[in-house]
Amino acid sequence: MSNFDFDLFVIGAGSGGVRASRVAASHGARVAVAEEHRVGGTCVIRGCVPKKLLVYGAHFAEDLKDARHFGWDVPDCKFDWDRLRDNVLAEVTRLEGLYGQTLDNHQVTLFKTRATIVGPQKVRLADGQEISAERILIATGGWPFVPEFPGSEHAITSNEVFHLDTLPKRVVIAGGGYIANEFAGIFNEFGSKVTIVNRGDTILRGYDEQIRDRLLQISMTKGIEFRFNAPFESIEKKEDGSLTVHLGNCDPIDADIVLVAAGRVPNTKGLGLEDVGLELDKEGAIKVGETNQSSVPSIYAVGDVTNRIQLTPVAIREGQAFADSVFGGKPTVVDYANVPSAVFSHPPIGAVGMTEAEARNKLGTVRVYTSDFRAMKNVLAGRNERALYKMIVNEATDQVVGLHMIGPDAPEILQAAAVAVKAGLTKADFDATVALHPSMAEELVLLK
Ligand code: NDP
């Protein structure tokens, strides 16, 4: 028995923190976790989960229209934001309960309060109580970044967007990344007038150029407006509560809400990290090595607070690897190669591996195969929306090094195909697989 109150004290009960806590506990460690907001963290409470439910809710707008082409008499339907919002928030609360139960089932002690670090092996809770632990894991995640400009306090972020009292008629979204494109799709399907305002001329930096262009083109056809090279200058709040957004290089835009989606910053402020000499990078992220250990040997960090890849499944892997390595006697290092990702836009994007540009830079000669097609369902629905699948192959080895897709269910298809890319399969392996007909995914084995 050690002289510490706990073997492990985890700060933050989000995806990474909960996984690390319960796995460490299952390896026999005495574990405590502190959470100042709600158990579940960004993904469950104000991220992936409620967002995906809104995406489902939004997609009914198209499904109800398309159903008429499939023989259904669909009356004019009205959308009720309050009902969807409340159902989504109730589901979030249910999941929060399940996460709490998981901790409980593994005898993890939960402190529903803020914890800060006061020594390499000591934390202090908000009520002043000090707790010692042989090791500390920081899993405090990230927080939306809001650039400073006059009136920026009138903007909301993804933290607040799930709680809106009413459905806004006019939405301005700052940023051109994941959250901007996902919420542009959601609000547009609900009937709001949506304008994406981007400081540069590129949406979804990091995704394959052709796929990004396809999303831009489809989004514009659906009625989403874009302003490029348009920095935010100010937001003016009028007497009736509505907002006017003043931009550089563009006319002002009136809006009911302004959603800022300009990236997320690591949650390291006020944690006492500087006092114990823990090293941060210039973005404020905790610097860790491949074992998730920080510059202070007893303190580790996983997830968005380390700003490696800001994705839930990556944080979960890091939490698992930490617990298995430190408490389970199974040294594990997370492999960051070929991490699949998706944008739940309308239609969604799925991607794994190198983009065409990256592959050309790194490998020299590559073969690129594309399938540009209209999904069968879209044809009958009279929906002029084309899917695009793209495969990047290393010319020298025939290995598939990248897959990029936009179209219905692209993330669902991509997850399965990512196994093949991760396994290093070749174009010939894809060709040798018989098509599953009729499906959209069969395009992947029919690329010529
Ligand atoms: P992103 O990093 O995806 O996009 C940020 C956008 O904001 C970019 O267009 C960027 O422009 C712009 N931007 C950055 N700084 C400024 C600034 N100072 N002024 C104006 N514009 C700025 O961030 P999001 O907020 O959309 O999402 C945060 C993270 O959350 C993502 O990176 C992702 O890791 C995660 N996430 C994942 C999802 C998923 O997996 N489906 C869904 C939602 C979020 P530029 O391109 O010029 O840098």
225-227 and 193-197 strand pairing: parallel
Supply the pLDDT for residue 315.
98
28 phi/psi in degrees, rounded to 5: 100, 5
Residues pairing with 400 in the sheet: 393
178 pocket-lining for ligand 1 (C-beta < 6 Å): yes
Per-domain residue ranges for the chain? 6-143+265-327, 152-262, 347-445
Q: Point out the ligand 1 atom lying closest to the alpha carbon of residue 341.
A: 40
Distance of alpha carbon 228 from alpha carbon 310, whole angstroms: 25
133-173 tens-digit pLDDT = 999 999 999 999 999 999 999 999 999 999 999 999 999 99
Counting as low any pLDDT under 50, the low residues of the chain are: none
Question: pLDDT averaged over the chain?
Answer: 97
| CA nearest ligand 1 atom 40, residue | 342
What is the separation, in whole angstroms, between the first and last Cα of the chain? 64
Tokens of 48: 């992936």
Supply the pLDDT for residue 1.
62
Distance of alpha carbon 275 from alpha carbon 79, whole angstroms: 52
Q: What spacing in Å lies between the alpha carbon of 264 and ligand 1's midpoint? A: 7
Domains 152-262 and 347-445 share a fold: no
Whether domain 6-143+265-327 has CATH 3.40.50.2020: the reply is no
392 pocket-lining for ligand 1 (C-beta < 6 Å): no
163: exposed, middle or buried (C-beta count within 10 Å: 0-12, 13-18, 19+)? Answer: exposed
21-34 tens-digit pLDDT = 999 999 999 999 99
pTM of the model: 0.97
- Residues annotated catalytic, as ranges: 437
Whether domain 152-262 has CATH 3.40.640.10: the reply is no
Supply the pLDDT for residue 2.
79
CATH code matching the domain that covers 347-445, chosen among 3.40.50.1820, 3.30.390.30, 3.40.50.300, 1.10.3210.10: 3.30.390.30
